[in-house]
A and B are shown apart, each in its own frame.
Chain A
Amino acid sequence: MTPFIAIGLLFTFLLIGLPIYLSLGFLALLLFWHEGTPLISLPQLLVDHLNSETLLAIPLFVIAATFMQKGGVAGALIDCAQAWVGRARGGLALVAVLACTIFAAICGSSVATAVAIGSVVIPAMIARKYEPHFALGVVGASGTLGILIPPSLAMIVYAVIAEESVPRLFLAGVIPGLLQAVLFISWIMIYARLRNYPVEPTISREDFVRMNLHAVPALMIPVIILGGIYSGVVTVTEAAGVAALVAIIEAIFIYRGVKPRDIVATLAESIKLTASIVFIIIGALAFGHWITSAGVAEALVTYVKTLNLSSWQFLLFINVVMLVLGMFLEVFAIILIVVPLILPILKALDINLIHFGIVLVINMEIALISPPIGLNLFVLSSVAKQPIMVAIRGIIPFLLIMLGLLGLVTYVPEVSLWLPDLVYSK
């Protein structure tokens, strides 16, 4: 079967609404069968690939994210941020960005970040007479930092498929992530002045200390995760495990957002969430195996070479493709459909895979907030009980900022690569 028929079939499956894991997995099954490969090699391939320490980081980070989201940690972080920046004009909006940035360093999921921070800060913003669309836009866009600032589930999934180093990818996300936060803060400061948004009342010195102290246990988590990984004490997976354990303990005993009787249900929920990702990974692994073993990779590379694309043209092309896919598909689905297909091309064009990983993740952030079905827009409109159109209206300026960031990170590789190259030398 030619690659183009296979890819055509894939998109037909997706279009008629087959679940993503089935679109990839069933196609792989058909392809294996068509090529006369013994079908017993399919389950064999899957269990062998799942027997991986990197993959194990996914459920552990999902458990950490779920407990962090439900655990009441967000409240403490928001208080802490408010103690620092509440007195600037548009203070609560700045608090939202700052709290999302810190939460992103605890949690590897954008949706969890947006929900955790949004459910506390959006009602507060609306009560203080911020326009609802602005409140939803700020949190929806800042929440996407969850997958850009380490730890990041999206980066782990990419690392599994591209066989890249997770610690390097994590480091590469730091500067673009901080840059995104700074860009958002600058825009908010301008907009808040235009709209004359309120400042938060001055707080006493005792309150300032108390608010900061209360956030210390939450702030310990990124220190444990990143400190552990980069001092070489623990692997990424072990860091994820420790983070999950600490998150559970803090959610139950310190911030008390999760009651002891909810532990079982919350853990099971995390496993189901993980499974919905891992099933897609299974499909992608099977499909990816066919791509390399059936010589499709070479065919694709030869085809792209005849187009005489330079690497920047290819990056532009793939950015456009991912932006379009991002309007209709979910983050992990896009990564797992696109990456196996273009990996051989990236290698042939000598594009740095760590750099590309960050370009991919920023695309995924944009996917989370691009209408019609950006997931962050939907969860926030339901959290804040506002119509989806309000969220879409509010997100537009931030979407434009993100497109600018995407262009910068795509064409100035140093923005992402400087830090990992510094730490690991090349």
Chain B
Amino acid sequence: MLEKFENALMALLAVLSLSLVSTEVALRYFFPRYLTDYGMEFTIYFTVWAIFLAGGPLVREGRHVRADILLLMLPPFAQRVLEIVALLVGLAFAVTLSWYGWQMVLSSIDLGEKSESSAKFPLYLYYMALPFGTTLMIPPFLYRLYLYVFRFDPSTMLVTADHVARDK
């Protein structure tokens, strides 16, 4: 359910940026006088939002790229400890970035920052992508910590995707 909603949202934003870019190219070629100076700007906003929305799902699915070759050679206990360390570091990173990210948004509202194009788009709506996305990374980090601390099965090493799948 959650996954469907996230997918739909990301796909929608992707479609929006795609159509914007293509319209822009078509306009430039055929009707240059209707060309705006903010088409690319909004394409960037949509895409950056889509990318930050994907941060949470990537944590939940354990799909952030890592070098796990050494990790996989260690005994289960050590793997578990290192995994917990990685999750704690990730949690600290997400919390710090979202905390200061929201502050950046608030200060941008106070300053009334607008984009330089004729759209004069309030920039805090763009900035918000970062704290919004990193805040959404916190629950999956906590959930995976819970799995590793309380639900670890050393015999099968099952915790992540398999466990999540079993819990569903």
Contacts and interface: CB of A to CB of B under 8 A. Distances in A.
B18 A63 contact: yes
Nearest to A44: B104
Interface in B2-35: 6-8, 10-11, 13-15, 17-18, 21-22, 24-25, 28-29
Interface stretch (A74-82, A83-91, A189-197, A230-238): A230-238
A275 interface: yes
B103 interface: yes
Name the residue among A50, A55, A333 with the largest chain B CB count within 10 angstroms. Answer: A50
Interface string A222-252: 0000000000011001101110110010000
B55 A43 contact: no
A43 B47 contact: no
Interface in A19-52: 19-22, 25-26, 29, 39-40, 42-44, 46-47, 50-52
Contact of A272 (B58, B67, B130): B58
B70 interface: yes
Given A18-B86, A233-B29, A59 B104 contact: no
Secondary structure class of chain A's binding surface, majority of residues: helix
Nearest to A266: B11
Contacts of A212: none
B63 A276 contact: yes
Contacts of A275: 50-52, 54-55, 58
Contacts of B93: 22, 25-26, 29
Interface centre among A25, A267, A275 (most CB of B within 10 A): A275
A225 B147 CA distance: 46
B131 interface: yes
Given A26-B92, A241-B25, A56 B82 contact: no
Quick one: which of A51, A55, A233 has the most chain B CB within 10 A?
A51
A121 to B, nearest CB: 28
A271 B51 contact: yes
Contacts of A63: 14, 18
Contact of B14 (A51, A59, A279): A59
Contacts of A276: 54, 58, 63-65
Interface string B73-99: 000000000110110011011001100
Contacts of B130: 43, 46-47
Interface of B: 6-8, 10-11, 13-15, 17-18, 21-22, 24-25, 28-29, 40, 43-44, 47-48, 50-55, 57-58, 63-71, 82-83, 85-86, 89-90, 92-93, 96-97, 100-101, 103-104, 107, 126-127, 129-131
Given A16-B70, A267-B15, A272-B10, 18 more contacts: A17-B83, A29-B96, A43-B100, A43-B101, A43-B130, A47-B129, A233-B29, A238-B25, A241-B22, A241-B24, A241-B43, A268-B6, A272-B54, A272-B58, A275-B51, A328-B69, A329-B67, A333-B65
Interface of A: 14-22, 25-26, 29, 39-40, 42-44, 46-47, 50-53, 55-56, 59-60, 63, 233-234, 237-238, 240-242, 244-245, 248, 263-265, 267-268, 270-272, 274-276, 278-280, 328-330, 332-333, 372-373
- Nearest first, the 3 closest Cβ-Cβ pairs linking A and B are A241-B21, A275-B54, A268-B7
